[in-house]
Structure 1
Amino acid sequence: MGCFGFLKAMMIAFNGIIFLAGIAILGVGIWVKVDSGSIFNFLGKIENVPPQINQVLNVGYLLIAIGALLVVIGFLGCCGAIRESKCMLLLFFMIVLLVFIAEVAGAVVILVFRPVADKLFDEVGTAAVKNIQKDYGGNPDITGLWNTTMDALKCCGFYNYTDFTGSPYNMASNNTYPPHCCVNNAPCNASAAEAKKADGCFIKIKKLIDSNTVVIVGVALGIAALEICAMIVSMTLYCRVKSTRA
């Protein structure tokens, strides 16, 4: 197998994987839109939540768009290499180049507008705490959603146990707090909650992201490197394919 054959085989294998991954992501996106998870219902029921956070509810559309894009890229790359089609290879190169440019632009936007995102999270936190103090222990839906979230993340409230102060649960249980905020589900008064110092769910998520920053950056750089390699290989095949092919 010569260099051309090797590059062609790699192009087919690589884009075959992308095609299958795109189908999987597309399926997940459709499932999210058909049967949204509790987190989406939770966000939708919080009162006074900033309108910008409603965009999170459209994550299904984002997954569908990403899945469809990957299916198209995988199809063009795989079929373009198999058929040695200069048209398909050129389209593949152009789409990957546009995606690469969009990713770079997105990274710049995230860095520039990071303070705006922090402000948005503060507004969400304020709305979430008001929601807890108004409905936790009084509204079964809100109570169940918060309990599910706290069970899953092993956290307490949005920021900490004080978020529950003044809530229907707190008032009806002699100023105690949810068992998630204390050790071994013991009677959870302020002293017990203070002793455990359970992280709030927002802090838990933030710590999870911060602890995986290196992994996230590494994955992003890896994807960028693969995109550059894909563009180089596609142009190499494009130049090697006989001009008589479509």
Structure 2
Amino acid sequence: MDCGTSMAKYLLFAFNTVVSIIGILGIVFGVLILNSIGTIEVDGQVGFPPQAIVPIVLITIGSIVVFISFLGCCGAIRESVCMTMTYAVFLLVILILQLTIVVLLWANKDKFTAAMGEVIDKAWERDSRQTGVFDAIQRSLKCCGKNGVTDYAVLLQSPPPSCCENDNCMNPLNFYGGCRSKFQEFMSFSTDTAKYVGLGLIGIELVGFIFACCLANNVRNYKRRNAY
């Protein structure tokens, strides 16, 4: 096998090894965030609060990246045109999906922020039936009411302990801010981070795609020459 093909083979293997490590780190980071957020219990059912969507997406993407990178490593080591091209196609598909998501997030940031506010609005309305949804969100986000503690005053209700730091509502300074703005800020920061991380991944995946195509083409040509 010529020098160019061997170089492409080992570069692709090294590249996918690094990407696999990045994917595993992404999964670990997502699990740690998910663990710090914790779960909430509503009507006897345990689940994740709305902000858990960020680490769940991170874990999902990390798992996909690890799978695709493993396929790329196998294709490079086995010098398999089929596996390498399958890897390249998967990489191209996920690259296009990520680029689409990044563009949509960039172009619709205001709409996305408004939608996140509506999530809290609906949770507040649902809690009027005493489901415990909002109390769980308050504990998870460390916030109070839809817009602040005054929301409870309007309803002629005492704020629950989850509205205050260390459940101590005797001191007015212990009250948290409103959940709507806090959730919007959290999601805005998360999506901004996701956009830049996504652009970095797109660049890395593009390099991997080029390496994979070069290797598959070189291996195919090498096998054709040896067939004669």
Q: Note whether the superposition's TM-score is higher than 0.5.
A: yes
Distance in 2 (alpha carbons) for counterparts of 1:203 and 1:129 = 13
Q: Which residue, 144, 150, 168 being the options, matches 1:185?
A: 168
Does the aligned pair in 2 maintain the 1:22–1:66 contact within 8 Å? no
1:104 aligns with 2:105: no
Is the deviation greater in 101-110 or in 91-100? 101-110
Q: Which residue, 125, 130, 141 being the options, matches 1:130?
A: 125
Aligned to 1:162: 150
Query: Cα gap change, 1:142/1:128 in structure 2, threshold over 3 Å: closer, same or farther?
Result: closer
Distance in 1 (alpha carbons) for counterparts of 2:212 and 2:170 = 65
Q: Secondary structure at the match of 2:91?
A: helix
Aligned to 1:86: 81
Q: Which residue, 237, 242, 246 being the options, matches 2:215?
A: 237
Amino acid at match of 2:143: C
TM-score by length of structure 2 reads: 0.65
Aligned to 2:10: 9
Aligned to 2:180: 202
Q: Secondary structure at the match of 1:13?
A: helix
Distance in 2 (alpha carbons) for counterparts of 1:103 and 1:44 = 37
Query: Cα gap change, 1:133/1:167 in structure 2, threshold over 3 Å: closer, same or farther?
Result: farther
Aligned residues: 210
Alignment of 1:204-219 (within 5 A): 204-211=182-189, 215-219=193-197
Alignment of 1:112-151 (within 5 A): 114=109, 116-135=111-130, 142=133, 145-146=136-137, 148-149=139-140
Amino acid at match of 2:148: N
Q: Percent of pairs identical after alignment?
A: 26
Distance in 2 (alpha carbons) for counterparts of 1:166 and 1:159 = 12
Which residues of structure 2 form unaligned runs of 5+?
none
Query: Cα gap change, 1:126/1:214 in structure 2, threshold over 3 Å: closer, same or farther?
Result: closer
State the shift of 1:86 in Å: 1.4
Query: Cα gap change, 1:183/1:17 in structure 2, threshold over 3 Å: closer, same or farther?
Result: closer
Question: How large is the RMSD of aligned CA atoms in angstroms?
Answer: 4.5
Distance in 1 (alpha carbons) for counterparts of 2:190 and 2:133 = 30
Query: Cα gap change, 1:213/1:43 in structure 2, threshold over 3 Å: closer, same or farther?
Result: farther
Q: Flag the structure with more relative contact order, 1 or 2, with Cα contacts below 8 A and sequence separation at least 6.
A: 2
Deviations 1:24-64 (A, max 9, x none): 859x89xx9xxxx524x55998xxxxxxx99x88x96x678
Q: Secondary structure at the match of 1:202?
A: helix
Distance in 1 (alpha carbons) for counterparts of 2:166 and 2:59 = 42
Amino acid at match of 1:235: C
TM-score by length of structure 1 reads: 0.61
Amino acid at match of 2:216: Y
Aligned to 1:75: 70
